[in-house]
Chain A
Amino acid sequence: MTNTIRVVRTGLAVALMLGVAAATGFAGGAPEPEGDPVPEITIYTTTESYDPIRYEAAFMIQDAWEELGFQVNVEPMEFSTLLQYFYDEQDFDATILGWSGRVDRLDPQHFLGTLHGEQIDLGANNPGGYVNREYDELYVRQEREFDPDARREIVLQMQDIAASDAPLDVLFYRDEVVGYNNERFENFVAMAGEGIYNEWTPYEVTPLSDDLMLTIGTSQEPDTINPLDSTSVWGWKFMRMYYDKLVRLTPDIEPEPWAAQEIIEVDDRTVDVIVRDGMTFHDGEPVTVEDVKFSFDYFIDNDFAYFRPFFGPIDSVEVLDSSTVRFHLAEPYSPFITVTLSQIVILPEHIWGNIDNPADLAPDDIPTVGSGPFKFDTYDRGEYKALKVFEDHFSAGDIAIEGIDYITYADSEGVFTALLTGEIDMNAWRMEPGQIPIAEAEDHISVITVGDFGYYHMTYNLRRAPFDEVQVRRALAHAIDRNTIIDVLLEGRGEAGYSVIAPINTFWHNPDVERFDFDLERARQLLEEAGYTWDAQGRIYAPQS
């Protein structure tokens, strides 16, 4: 026994000596490192249970960067703690997070803003601290450019600048894979970023059985159904069915006048909206221009922060005549029609006009009267929601179903089981990778894959070495194997990312931005050009300043 150990030890010693000799031999030709070793890098990412993909990706990136001579740690943490370090404290080296593809983010305003030099304060949207004067000037220009083609030119240019500066790495856009019961309904509409749980599916689906209620399974619960208080996507995805908006975005994300008959751009700070005739609220009261003006004023007066990005540009709202409302903007604001008018809902003045502090309403007192294509029916928190078609709505004739049931499950596994047993007709949120093949094998389930324009990213803290140097960031970008992340971790269900505006957002996406393909030799070369050196152990040193 003792002899065996001794033999092993001797063997180890020999191997170590050989290794050192080899390393020294390798470094023999290289100059002695002069500056200081590059500080250790810590990558923050999600826990494995929260998102195995971001978790594994961090370790893949760690391996590649270590090959370049960096010392890299990976620290997975609980999601809200991760957000806190990233946004609130800006206390990180590199963080892997994501932005979800909400339909109002198809307008490039929000995603471009995450690199805007004026949003670098604690808690704001640009925690990495990227500041580029040229980019910032273009940001203001695109915001004020009303002509879509001219604005597009600016947006493309901004993507060029940002890509080459590499303040973050867009890792991938993840496909949304959802399923529906093809024995009960057909003609589901798929939308980028929203899957089939969008505003149009209830219009397009055709029932194949006697049951005319579309049943949606979800594991996401609205925070509240108070339109002056809800800050979650899941609250709004429910409420938007029973409230009307002046504009709705079509499945191709074109603004379509909805409660508006017509929209007239008088000049770059004035927009007239002619309100559709003959609409009524679910309680029978007519929808008037006064209700429209009231709704915008009400959101502004109550200063509901969630909607500030939308109503922020509005200076005042004026009733011109019995069918026309005029919006005065403080500054020209190009996303006004696509974003503002498609997000703020029309509330009945005769109900909300009597409520002074809407955010303090008790849950049972929250009004649910809208003018939308569906009427509010039931909301049992954590269990069940239901809507019924509003027969007097101008679009009711296009709807083949009688209503929508929403059943809440504890997690995505519960939703998936319900899809298998036929308890629900579709799921609201994507399936887990392991569920997809099971769903595909079922005859009664059809699987749909839709691209997303939300993106997963690794953002660097540009206030810290070595990320303060653009050349290092560009080198590190070459050391991220995006294709393997997609092929292996996402099982091919996604697309490699290069810009904050996703390819599926065809109008605004710039396909020609600089791409950093996985190439460790190229990365090493860039670092050498920047004056970085390596010591005998292969550890990287910053140039002497």
Chain B
Amino acid sequence: MTRLIVSKLLQMLFTLWVILTVLFFLFRLGLPDPTVALVTDGLSPEDRAIVTERFGLDRPLPAQYVIYLGNALTGEFGRSFHYNAPVTSIVGERVANTLVLMLPAILISYTIGPLLGVLLAWKRGSKLEAGGITAGLVLRSAPMFWVGMLVIMLFGIQLGWFPTSGMRTFPYEAANFFEKIFTLDFLHHLILPTIVITLYYTGLPMLIMRNTMLEVMGEDFIEFAGARGLSRARVMYRHAARNALLPVVTQAAVTAGLAVGGQVVVEVVFSWPGLGLEMFNAVRTSDYPLAQAAFMLMAAIILVLNFAADVIYGRLDPRVSYTSEGAGV
């Protein structure tokens, strides 16, 4: 087991290095010069050269790359070109805002979704199943900005029940992040965006669960469980569901990883000051350090969660065993 974890960790480090490298060159080759926007402010070429030097962009690309890798090893991601502030502090602020929005929504989706999926498989051929599948597909395909705008129009503007933007009503007093979010006012702001994200996210685990359930339900042990006189609900939710859960867990790991990047669209529609919005702006203003750090964080979390999913598999389904010959099911 130790050997397995070590080799997995080494793989992860290698993957991280590849991602770091790709990010470095992707942004520098793909995005315009970050100082170009200064021209419209009336800066002369000489003045811009000073800015370029300050950003360290006057050095040759390989030299920049070596510095960048060295800094990344120590967790240092430099200063944002746009804000002239340390990237880590900006990303830190933003990632917390995003997580308090995304995690509850994902948690709800991945609780309700699989439960509904079981129900759909159970009621195979019924109107309930047809309606459930249609609803799942529609919600999954409806653009989130559109759903968001409808929700804002109805509950925010027409009915006036909920605030339409931001995390809190201004001005407010909060000494730290926890004081900021442990309030009714915050929950009030959280409800609309959470509904939009949950509606979108629930479809996928529901449909995956239904599909795997249908496979599992054809197996002998289900029939056997039924023959033992267990109730249908017990067979479905205890015996079949547990065996059908693996693909949902994989999906949950990926979804949770991507959640760090937030849902740019939802953050824009609800003016939620999260990381997704910041990433979008960083790419738009060619703010390499900020964009690199944000994407890196996202990649790292996906890697870690995938690793965690691998380990959890063994727990959920003892048939999954890791041996020195490799993983076998």
Residues of A within 8 A of B (CB): 78-81, 83-84, 87-88, 99-100, 110, 119, 121-125, 223-224, 226, 229, 231-233, 303, 305-306, 308-309, 359, 362-363, 378, 381-384, 386, 405, 407-411, 413-414, 417-418, 420-421, 423
Contact = CB atoms under 8 A, between A and B. Distances in A.
A159 to B, nearest CB: 20
Contacts of B166: 383, 407, 409
A83 B43 contact: no
Contact of B164 (A79, A87, A417): A417
Contact of B47 (A308, A386, A407, A420): A308
Interface string B244-260: 00000000000000000
B45 A123 contact: yes
Contact of A305 (B37, B43, B90, B149): B43
Contact of A359 (B84, B164, B170, B171): B84
Contacts of A386: 170-171
16 contacts: A87-B39, A123-B44, A125-B44, A224-B83, A224-B85, A231-B38, A306-B47, A308-B44, A362-B85, A363-B89, A382-B94, A383-B166, A410-B270, A414-B269, A414-B270, A421-B156
Interface stretch (B102-110, B214-222, B271-279, B290-298): B271-279
B271 A408 contact: yes
Contacts, number: 132
Closest 4 CB pairs of A and B: A305-B47, A123-B45, A409-B271, A410-B271
Contact of B171 (A80, A83, A100, A384): A384
A223 B82 contact: yes
B164 A421 contact: yes
B42 A88 contact: no
A502 B156 CA distance: 41
Contacts of A87: 36, 39
Nearest to A113: B42
Contact of B36 (A83, A233, A405): A83
Contacts of B48: 123, 305
A405 B47 contact: no
B165 interface: yes
A410 B32 contact: no
B83 A306 contact: no
A486 to B, nearest CB: 23
Nearest to A303: B50
A85 to B, nearest CB: 9
A378 B54 CA distance: 29
A381 B47 CA distance: 27
Given A80-B33, A410-B165, A417-B165, 11 more contacts: A79-B284, A83-B37, A88-B39, A121-B45, A305-B50, A382-B273, A405-B170, A409-B166, A414-B268, A414-B269, A421-B157
A381 B160 CA distance: 27
B152 interface: yes
A359 B273 CA distance: 26
A84 B164 CA distance: 37
B200 to A, nearest CB: 18
Given A110-B42, A410-B277, A226 B269 contact: no
B185 to A, nearest CB: 13
A124 B45 contact: yes
B243 interface: no
A362 B86 contact: yes
A123 B42 CA distance: 10
B286 interface: yes
B285 interface: yes
A80 B47 contact: no
Contacts of A119: 44
Given A305-B43, A410-B271, A229 B84 contact: yes
Interface in B158-181: 160, 163-167, 170-171
A163 to B, nearest CB: 23
B2 interface: no
Contacts of B40: 83, 99-100
Contacts of B39: 83, 87-88, 123, 125
Contacts of B83: 223-224, 363, 381
Contacts of A81: 32
B315 to A, nearest CB: 40
B99 interface: no
A333 to B, nearest CB: 16
A229 to B, nearest CB: 6
A114 B93 CA distance: 41
Given A378-B171, A382-B273, A84 B45 contact: no
B195 interface: no
A437 to B, nearest CB: 16
Contact of B157 (A122, A309, A383, A420): A420
Contacts of A305: 43-44, 47-48, 50-51
A408 B166 CA distance: 9
A382 B278 contact: yes
Contacts of B47: 305-306, 308
B80 to A, nearest CB: 9
Contacts of B165: 409-410, 414, 417-418, 423
Listed residue (A78, A83, A226, A382) with the most chain B CB atoms within 10 angstroms of its CB: A382
Contact of A417 (B38, B85, B152, B267): B152
B100 to A, nearest CB: 14
B267 A410 contact: yes
